[in-house]
Amino acid sequence: MAKMKKFMAVHKDSKVTCDELHDNWRKLAKVESSTWIRTYYNEENAVRYCEWLATSEEDLKYIFTEMGISWESILEVEEILPDLWGKAWSEHLEKDKEADTLGV
């Protein structure tokens, strides 16, 4: 079995309604070759950022094409978490507590 990689797909389509999005999400949740993780949605700008696990960008393009879903871009990404930054993250949090912009 091929190794799954993490991808972010960007979709910009002002014609898609929330009902259509929900219908698509239900369908995408059933896809077996790739795994849809989550979507971040900005309704005002009609932009969706969708996180996926897939073997390749081509696999996602095939899925989207078959479902009639347009995309702006599909990028392989890596997740960076604060705990992976080690000491630098702790130092950042300490400095942030003293920042002039605190509470802004």
Inform me whether the pLDDT recorded for 104 exceeds 50: no
Beta strand pairing call for 5-12 and 35-42: unpaired
Position with higher pLDDT, 97 vs 65: 65
pLDDT in tens, 40-96: 988 888 899 999 999 999 999 999 998 888 999 999 998 877 665 667 767 777 777
Q: For the whole model, what pTM was predicted?
A: 0.70
Q: What is the mean pLDDT of residues 33-42?
A: 89
Q: Rounded to whole angstroms, how far apart are CA atoms 55 and 73? A: 16
Options 3.30.70.3090, 3.40.50.720, 3.40.50.150, 3.20.20.70; CATH of 5-79: 3.30.70.3090
Q: How far is CA 104 from CA 20, 25, 100, 101, in A?
A: 37, 36, 9, 5
DSSP state letter for 85: G
* Domain boundary assignment for the chain: 5-79
Matching residue, tokens 């996602």? 60
Distance, CA of 48 to CA of 71 (rounded, Å): 9
Nearest Cα to Cα of residue 54 among 65, 41, 63: 63
